[in-house]
A and B are shown apart, each in its own frame.
Chain A
Amino acid sequence: MHHLLPLLVAVPLLGAALPAAAGRRLPRAAVEITGFVVSGGTGALALLLLLNSTPPMTEWVGGWLPVGGQSVGIVVLGDGPALGMATLASLLTLAALAYSWRYFDAPPHGHTGAFTALMLLFQGAMCGFALAGDLFNAFVFFELMSVVAYALTGYRIDEARAVQGALTFGVVNSLGAYAMLMGIALLYARTGELGMSAIGRGLDAHGGPDALVLASFVLVMTGLLVKAATVPFHFWLPDAHAVAPTPVCMLLSGVMVELGVYGAWRVYGTVFAGPGGIPAADLTRALVTLGILTAAVGAVMCWYQRHIKRLLAYSTIAHTGLFLVGLGVLTPEGDDGIALYVVGHAAVKAALFACAGVLLDRFGSVDEHALHGRARSLRATGVMFAIGALGLAGLPPFGTGLGKSVAEEAAGGPLTVGYVLVSAITAGAVLRVTARVFLGLGPRPEDAEYETSGSGEEPETGGLLRRVPDTMTTVPAVLLAAALAVGVAPGFGDLVARSVNEAGSGGAHASAHWTAPGVLLGLAATALAVILAALAVTRPTWLAAPSWAAPLRRLQSGHVGDYVAWLLVGTTLLGALALPGVLGG
């Protein structure tokens, strides 16, 4: 079985070659069917491997087995989390391709296959990053994933905003990747190994952590946290997500950002968790601090957006912060909860982006203010948008709610309040949009001074849609059903918990199921979200941006140089947060 693991990378990469090479000669339907077959086939294979991932598999690609503990081969991991992320990426790619079925207007004429080819390449790179068992291949797939994502973000090259967002995304993410490579080089200098578990053993053999270990930890984590859009590395994300084509947003928000979180979990657990690495207390301090900061900034900025895709992008940042907090407490329950949360969040967020895409293509705008009351006729989309908001709030029995309640219990204490508040604020913002855009409730709000409006966007279809194609309503419906199934399917939580704990968590096993406090907290977050949305719609002045929020918005300047400066600040901050243990050790 484990010999099939490299196929998860090879099949999409080879599958991308066909539409890229022959796309302009093939009819569009043939290209899109190729995309379906390849992404769906890879997804099915990933699912099959995932169901057989107990005990975890490893594969040395091409039969380059280690000899006497020395290896030059490429190792591929096949445990629950790796295959789970690969499955998630593959299925979400399939959903995004189905969403863009024949509707997506291809601006570079004569390159019919370009979009499908890029999406398959993106899928292959994400699978490769998820499965990578050595740090250098993780870096290569990280960069491949990033480069394809820049190209997809700037896919509509005729749009001024799209190319600007793509460039910002490119510069910040590549700089993060180079920092990660510097860290990998330092780890290789210390241990002479590139395999993650081999580096971990090498560090432990060398003794306690020192400056070199700290530097490599900070540099590697910088790269991964840039991808995970952690404050203050997060500035690229709203700019990229606001301008990327909708199917691409579904993948960026649903799984690529989460792969950064997954990478941080994997690298810490395999490389730095031993006695020669970074002490657990320091990792907890770093991740929980940055996670709280990320969740708070994401939630506040999410609330004050009127550009609907930007609003959803900030809610992704807020939820990523929650993921980091859950992983940062370093308990098996936290890991299980976040795994479920990531799966549920991916489905909900992709569905919300899909609904926002319907608005964009129907009205040529994703501006909450300009669309006020205009989308009354889109009942199905409106209902799904509201259901997506409830999923974001973690209403039981959504998968997000299950994951959140397990993570809340693991985090405990004041952090629980953070989980409730952040999910309520982001869900409240989405409900507010639903009430204004789809129901036309409340007065039309006033414009702020410093913001991206979301009006005057080009639709992604050939022209404005008269009616919404079935694929564009079916895909979000299926995604929302999937988010519900994650929370409802009996035994799914325990299955995820078992496979996550088998791969990490030091062999400790926990279970993940609904508990009474978890259900109550989920209901409380939903109720709070509804109250916030109702207040915002009926009493706009009460919840208008206070003066302290203005500087926060001004930080998001759209200037790539500022973002690079913030990246350096973030790296320093990460180093300062992880420093005490190294000094004490």
Chain B
Amino acid sequence: MSHAMDVLPYLVAAYVFLTGCYGLATSRHLIHAVGCLAVCQSATYILLLAVGYRAGGTAPVFSDIEPGSRPVVDPVVQALTLTDIVVGATVTALLLALVLQIAKRHGTVDPDELRELRG
């Protein structure tokens, strides 16, 4: 049982990533596609936080607990996740701006109808 619980977060991360990829591959709407990309990125948050988890650990904030008095989860991955979220916000904002511009210039946001660049 505990082994299954250890593996579960990793399976969830893989599942979320692949779900996002499936959504991207079959998307009929570009805003939906950008959302799917954000889903893929959420998988990286899950994986990072799962990697840093310690059984019985608490938040790595030492204002109210003595260092070393009880286990804490790994603060490095939390810093990475925060950075990752900032990166994700930048990417999503920029891509949504591009989608807006595509809607204005092409008159559609269906990737099936964007066939100017090919061959």
Contacts and interface: CB of A to CB of B under 8 A. Distances in A.
Interface of A: 72, 136, 140, 143, 147, 150-151, 154, 157-161, 163-168, 170-171, 174-175, 178-179, 181-182, 185-186, 188-189, 194, 238-239, 242-243, 448, 450-452, 553-554, 556-562, 564-565, 567-568
A190 to B, nearest CB: 9
B80 A163 contact: no
A40 to B, nearest CB: 28
B117 A164 contact: yes
A189 B37 contact: no
Contact of A72 (B76, B77, B83): B76
A238 B119 CA distance: 9
A171 B114 CA distance: 15
Interface string B53-95: 0000000000000000000000011001001100100110011
12 contacts: A150-B95, A160-B116, A163-B101, A167-B30, A167-B95, A175-B21, A175-B40, A185-B80, A239-B117, A452-B117, A557-B118, A567-B21
With most chain B CB atoms within 10 A of its CB, the pick from A178, A186, A189 is A178
Contacts of B25: 561-562, 564-565, 568
Contact of B17 (A167, A178, A448): A178
Which residue among B87, B99, B106, B119 has the maximum number of chain A CB atoms within 10 Å of its CB?
A: B119
Contacts of B111: 559-561
Contacts of A238: 117
Interface string B23-37: 011110010011001
Contacts of B26: 561
A160 B102 CA distance: 6
Contacts of B101: 154, 157, 163
A238 B40 CA distance: 24
B40 A560 contact: no
A187 B99 CA distance: 35
Given A185-B80, A188-B76, A238-B117, 18 more contacts: A147-B90, A147-B94, A150-B98, A157-B101, A160-B106, A163-B98, A166-B98, A171-B34, A174-B41, A174-B95, A182-B13, A182-B44, A185-B51, A239-B117, A451-B119, A558-B116, A559-B111, A560-B24
A171 B17 contact: no
Contacts of B116: 160-161, 164, 452, 558
Of A164, A166, A243, A567, most buried by chain B (CB within 10 Å of CB) is A164
Contacts of A181: 44, 48, 84
Contacts of B33: 171, 560-561
B24 A171 contact: yes
Interface of B: 13, 17, 21, 24-27, 30, 33-34, 37, 40-41, 43-44, 47-48, 51, 76-77, 80, 83-84, 87, 90-91, 94-95, 98-99, 101-102, 105-106, 111-112, 114-119
Contacts of A554: 119
Query: In this complex, which of B47, B112, B117 has the most chain A Cβ atoms within 10 angstroms of its Cβ?
Result: B117
A151 B102 contact: no
A171 B95 contact: yes
Nearest 10 CB-CB pairs, A to B?
A160-B105, A451-B119, A189-B51, A558-B118, A558-B117, A564-B24, A163-B101, A565-B25, A553-B119, A450-B119
Contacts of A163: 98, 101-102, 105
A134 to B, nearest CB: 11
A559 B95 contact: no
A565 B30 CA distance: 16
B54 to A, nearest CB: 12
Q: Which of B83, B105, B106, B118 has the most CB of A within 10 A?
A: B118
A558 B118 CA distance: 5
B102 A164 contact: yes
A166 B99 CA distance: 10
A451 B118 contact: yes
A181 to B, nearest CB: 5
Contacts of B40: 175, 178
A164 B114 contact: yes
A49 B57 CA distance: 45
Contacts of A175: 21, 24, 37, 40
Contact of A178 (B44, B90, B98): B44
Given A560-B24, A561-B33, A178 B43 contact: yes
Contacts of B117: 161, 164-165, 168, 238-239, 242-243, 452, 558
Contacts of B44: 178, 181-182, 185
Contacts of A186: 47, 51
Contacts of B114: 164, 558-559
B115 A558 contact: yes
Given A151-B94, A561-B111, A188 B102 contact: no
A298 B84 CA distance: 33
B102 to A, nearest CB: 5
A328 B36 CA distance: 34
A157 B106 CA distance: 12
Contact of A174 (B76, B80, B91, B99): B91
B83 to A, nearest CB: 6
A194 B76 contact: yes
Nearest to A566: B25
A128 to B, nearest CB: 13
A566 B22 CA distance: 12
